[in-house]
Structures are given as C-alpha cells and as structure tokens.
Amino acid sequence: MNKKMTNSGANQTLSLLQQYGVTDIFGYPGGAIMPMYDAIYSSEITHYLCRHEQGAAMAAIGYARASNKVGVCMATSGPGATNLITGLADAMSDSIPVIAITGQVSTKAMGSDAFQEVDIISLSLACTKYSFQVKRLEDLADCIHQAFSIATSDRPGPVLIDIPKDVQVAVSNKPLELVYSKRHLIAKSTPPKQKNGINEKAQYEKASELIASAKKPVLYVGGGVGMARADEQLAELMQLLCAPTVATLKGLGSVPYDRKLYLGMLGMHGTKAANMAIQQSDLLVVLGARFDDRATGKLNEFAPNAKVIHMDIDPAEINKRRTADVPLLGSLKQTLATLIEVVRENRANDAERQEWNNYCVSQIETLEKSATETRRSEEGNGSIDSKTPSTAVTAIDATQLLYRLNQFLAVGPEMHVTTDVGQHQMWAAQYLQFTRSNQFISSCGLGTMGFGIPAAIGAQISKPNSLVVSVTGDGSFMMNMQELATIKRYKLPVKILLLDNSRLGLVRQWQQLFFEQRYSETDLSDNPDFVAIAKAFEIDAQTITQESEVVAALQKMTESKGAYLLHVRINIFENVWPLVPPEKANHEMIDRV
C-alpha cells in the first residue's frame, strides 16, 4: 500500500501543519518519532536535519523571527525532547511563535519509566505558553488547531505538542478536515476574559493629555513593535510626537538608526544619551516593552520623574515592574493607530519641546563622542590589566570592524544579523545599523549562548535572498558549532563573523571590573583552530589579525557566494562601554573605570 495515502496520525499531523502554511520543519529523528519521519519521507514539507535538537529549536526561532511565520521543530522523546528545552525557554522569553513536536513512548508504556520516556509535558510547562499531549487520534486536529492559535495569538510564544508513538501510527477512517476546536467553542461560551474593565476611550484621551502636557517626553520602543508589524504606525507616531526615541535590545531596528531624534539603545550597555534622556524625562511612552532589568538598571531610580503610558499586548506586563499611569492594551498595530488619531487633535507646546529635543540630540554628539574617544585611548595601548602582557593585543578593534561591516550589509536587498551572547552581541547592538524590525535577531531575554548559528540557519532558510551574518564569540561558537554541518548540507550562504578574544569575554569583563581581576575559568586561549574547523565542513574561512586586513576580509566574506567564516583575532581586554554597573541606576553609567 502506498504509505502516503494512509490516514495515520503522522500523516494527519503533516497535513494539518501544511494547512497552517508550514513549509519547513527543523528536527532530528529517533525511536518515538519514527512514524513522523516516515511520513516526512514522502511529504511536501521540507525537513531540515540539524545536528542537535537545540540547533533545531533555535533554527525554528531564527526562521520565525526573520519571517514572522511560525517556526516548527521536531524531536524524539526523552533526550531529544529535553534538548529542545533551552530553545523553548528562549522562545518563551522573547515571545516567539514556535511549535515543537515531540515523539513520546506509546500510551500503554507511558508512566512506566519506559526507554526514552521523559515527562516532557511537566518539563515544558515553565517554558511554553501551552503544552499538549495527544493521547487519542481524535484529538489530534483539535490540538494542532489550538497550538497554532495559542502560539500566534495575544503575546506569541512556544507551544509543545507531544505525540505518543501509537497515536502517530493509528489510522483513522474519518476523512481529515480542519475541525474547529470543541474546546474553542467552550471557551467562547464562557464569558470572554475581561481585557478591559475600564473606559477605553477615556484611557486614550488621558494618554493624549499626558502627551500634550509633557515637557520632556521619550518614546521607548520594545520588541513588541516588530512582533506586531507596527513599524509604520511607529514611524507615524514619531513624526507626530517629534520626541526623542530610545529602543530596547529587542526593539533595535524598529526605529531606523539614522532617524532624527533616535538616541539609540537604553540600558546596561545602551548609549548615555538614551539613558540620560530617560532619567530626565517626564513622560515615557512605552511601546511593547517590559522594563527588563537590563534596560532599567536599578528600578526604583529609573526615570524617577516620568509618568508612564504603557502600551502592550500582555496585560500581565502592566504594573509588573513599573506602574503605568495609563495602560493601553492590545496589538500595537491597532492601539498605535488609535493613539495617533487621538493625539493628532491634541497638539503639544512645541517651543518647550524643541528645547528638550535639541538638548537630547546634543547629548548624542557630546556624550557618545567622548565615550568612544576615552575608550580608544584607554584600550588602544592594551595596558588595562597589569597581568596581561601587551603583546596579547592585536590591532583590530572589534567595534570599528562592526561599524565598517555596515557598508557591506547595506548593499543587498535584505539583510539579517544574528548574534550569540556576550561582548560581541553588545557591540553588534551598539555599532550595527538597522533600518527595520527583525533584522537584528538576538537572544535578548534569555541570553542564550549558542543561539547565533542555528538562528542564522533558520533566518537564511526563511529568507533565501537575504545576506545573513552571524556575529559570534569564540565561546558561543562552540556551543552549537555542530550546526556547521547543517550549513554544509543545505549549502546555506550564512556568513559567520567570529570575534575571537580567546576569552569568555563578557564574563571576563565582569571579573575584571567587579571581581578583582580574578579570572576564574574564562580563559579560552587553548581554543581550537577555527579556520580548520570551518574547512572540515567545507566552509571557506580566513583568519585576520591586523587592522589593515579588515576591509578586504569583510568584503570577501559578504561577497562570497557560499558560507564563510571570518575569524578575527581581537584584543583580549577590549571591553563593552559604556556600562551601568550592577545595582546602579542608569544615570550612573560609566564610560570606563
């Protein structure tokens, strides 16, 4: 019999995924998911074999983030499923719609500590929006329907669907259709969750009054703008308010870097101009952001004089860390449009605002310039740490290199940058220039080392014509470097920019600054030969050590037809500046020690 024709649970799962527009799945096979893999064998959905389930989960995230589609990953029971967990936690933290399908031992073996049985439902509860276990074939369509609905609605997030092996092989005699959920109907018949117990219109008017009377307003842009695809509405609001604007790490790109009144990123490694503006502001208009501790610094001294208009899709973010004077709930695409309408009729006192705007802009110039200059003169001679011989210093300045990279990124029709976690991530955030939401794909909330390469794989697959560059560090690179095999297998033209300080740089920086230079377990000077590793995967690669090589090397990397690894030796003791020290308020930001 032609297997393709059977109406098995596995085939039904794939058909349902297809009905939801899924064209690509990232995964790794194993015993309890074999029926699904058998179905994949003759499915129209393309399966991408990663070399670790964590890689598959993070590829699904990169895919989702670059394309705004749902990312799908798949793994077997037990260790396969547990290997997905870090990816799910990452997706949860950054609100990424990902569906993870895991195999499970057969229903009759469940609960018996069977081979490769793990209670993945329990393990996943803290890092998914919802977890389904499909115990009967009849429930399959319903679960998949709901999984997509939950993953993409309200604040998006990951959903797990655990399918026992016998449900995958069970055959149904009923024709498959995309049934509407019974539970969905139950939910509908119970009173809808009261999204708003207050007069919405009055809230908007209150917001508009606050905006009109503010003398020092600041727009605070988070990742929610990109998630809601509200770039346009944001641009309109910016034009209307004509107010200084700052972005969070996840919000980078939603405001084009060269936009007038854009002060850059706020927070621990943000710009001084952004942090100082916020600290002096009398009104924050917060769009899709959650007052993350890395953004706010010491919370009770954060923006001490500011009223807050908090626009978010997730009611649980309102008043969680900072009390909102006016909360506006809903998808930013709609709420921003409504706010714009109301604000249009209620114009502000322009002269006072002009003064504030001029002041903020002048801050970008004076503060940023002086910060960069001090850093240069301080670190250029490599004498920061007496324990380190200055011979360890190379001439390549990582931040300058990233700044130079901009000219090569801007040439193509599309570009995406993924990063790992560490100093290189912060430098990328500070020095790369983005013009649209979701161009910068970084593990923002969870800070997951090993994210960059699999995320770049997913981004490249969802955006085949994009120039995808993964900026990584020598520590992070090794956390998922097995995925070079995935790059090779699918001939993905991903570019890897490896900034090698032969240290766990960000941790080393903290040891230097806050742990009396006790460099515990952060020395990676016995790193392997990265170029040889790349070449073992048939990826073209080169090492550079001198400033004079930078431009040609960046050009070669970005123009190479296939994948490329540019290995850059950078100054071991280069630090990320400026910095808000731990437990300090953002206005206590320092340029250097």
Partner 1 sequence: MSQQTVSITAQNQPTVLERLFQVTRFRGFTITGCTVFSRQNESVLDIELTLQDAMDASNTTERAIGNLFNQLYKQTDITTVNLKSANLKSVNLETCPENSQMAHQIS
Ligand X SMILES: Cc1ncc(C[n+]2csc(CCOP(=O)(O)OP(=O)(O)O)c2C)c(N)n1
Q: Residues touching partner 1: how many (CB under 8 A)? A: 33
Q: How far apart are alpha carbons 363 and 316 in whole angstroms?
A: 34
What SS3 string covers 466-512? Answer: CEEEEEEEHHHHCCCHHHHHHHHHCCCCCEEEEEECCECHHHHHHHH
- The single residue among 506, 533, 541, 550 that binds ligand X, judged by CB under 6 A, is 506
**Smallest gap from residue 104 Cβ to partner 1 (A):** 13
Which of partner 1, ligand X, none does residue 476 bind (CB under 5 to 8 Å by kind)? ligand X
Which residues, numbered 86-125, are part of the site for partner 1 (CB under 8 A)?
Answer: 121-122, 125
- The residue among 315 and 581 lying less far from ligand X, judged by its C-beta, is 581
Please give the DSSP secondary-structure letter assigned to residue 516. T
Asked if residue 51 lies in contact with residue 485, where contact means CB atoms within 8 angstroms, the answer is yes
- Pick the closer one to ligand X by CB: 334 or 543: 543
Residue identified by tokens 């710009």 is: 271
Q: State the DSSP H helix or E strand holding residue 64, giving kind and residue range, or none if neither.
A: helix 53-67
What CA–CA distances, in Å, run from 555 to 456, 524, 538, 558?
A: 19, 28, 20, 5
Q: Which of 318, 398, 429, 444 binds partner 1 (CB under 8 A)?
A: 318
203 lies in the site for ligand X, by CB under 6 A: no
Stretch that binds partner 1, among 185-193, 462-470, 542-550, 559-567 (CB under 8 A): 185-193
- Cα–Cα distance, 22 to 359 (Å, whole number): 49
From 166-174, 317-325, 392-400, 572-580, span contacting partner 1 (CB under 8 A): 317-325
State yes or no: residue 194 binds partner 1 (CB under 8 A).
Answer: yes
∠392-393-398 over CA atoms, to 5°?
A: 130
Closest approach, Cβ 472 to ligand X, in A, equals 7
Q: Which residues contact 197 (CB under 8 A, 6 or more apart)?
A: none
Between 140 and 276, whose beta carbon lies closer to partner 1?
Answer: 140
Nearer to partner 1, 198 or 536 (CB): 198
Reading phi first (left if > 0) and then psi (alpha if -120 to 50, else beta), residue 74 is in: beta
Residue count, binding to ligand X (CB under 6 A): 20
- The C-alpha atoms of residue 10 and residue 140 are separated, in whole angstroms, by 10
By CB under 6 A, is residue 501 in contact with ligand X? yes
By C-beta, is 408 or 573 nearer to ligand X? 573
CA–CA distance, 70 with 443 (Å, rounded to integer): 17
Decide if residue 320 touches partner 1 (CB under 8 A). yes
Decide whether 320 or 333 has the Cβ nearer to partner 1: 320
Sheet holding 495-500, edge to edge: 440-441, 415-419, 467-473, 495-500, 564-569, 540-544
Beta-sheet pairing, 283-287 with 262-265 = unpaired
Which one of residues 38, 282, 325, 591 is an interface residue with partner 1 (CB under 8 A)? 325
Q: Which residues inside 320-349 make contact with ligand X, applying CB under 6 A?
A: none
Within 120-149, the residues that bind partner 1 by CB under 8 A are 121-122, 125-126, 129-131, 133
- Residue from the set 3, 136, 183, 201 that interacts with partner 1 by CB under 8 A: 183
Select the residue interacting with ligand X from 123, 235, 342, 507 (CB under 6 A): 507
By CB under 8 A, is residue 314 in contact with partner 1?
Answer: yes
Taking the least distance from each CB to ligand X, the nearer of 228 and 568 is: 568
Locate 478 and state its tokens: 């090794």
449 binds ligand X (CB under 6 A): yes
3-class SS at 462?
A: helix
Question: Mask 461-490, x = binds ligand X (CB under 6 A)?
Answer: ------------xxxx--------------
CA–CA separation, 389 vs 476, rounded Å? 25
Contact (Cβ atoms closer than 8 angstroms) between residue 54 and residue 26: no
Residues that bind partner 1 (CB under 8 A): 121-122, 125-126, 129-131, 133, 150, 154, 183, 186-187, 190-191, 193-198, 203, 314-316, 318-320, 323-325, 327, 329
Binding site for ligand X (CB under 6 A): 420-424, 447-450, 473-476, 499, 501, 503-507
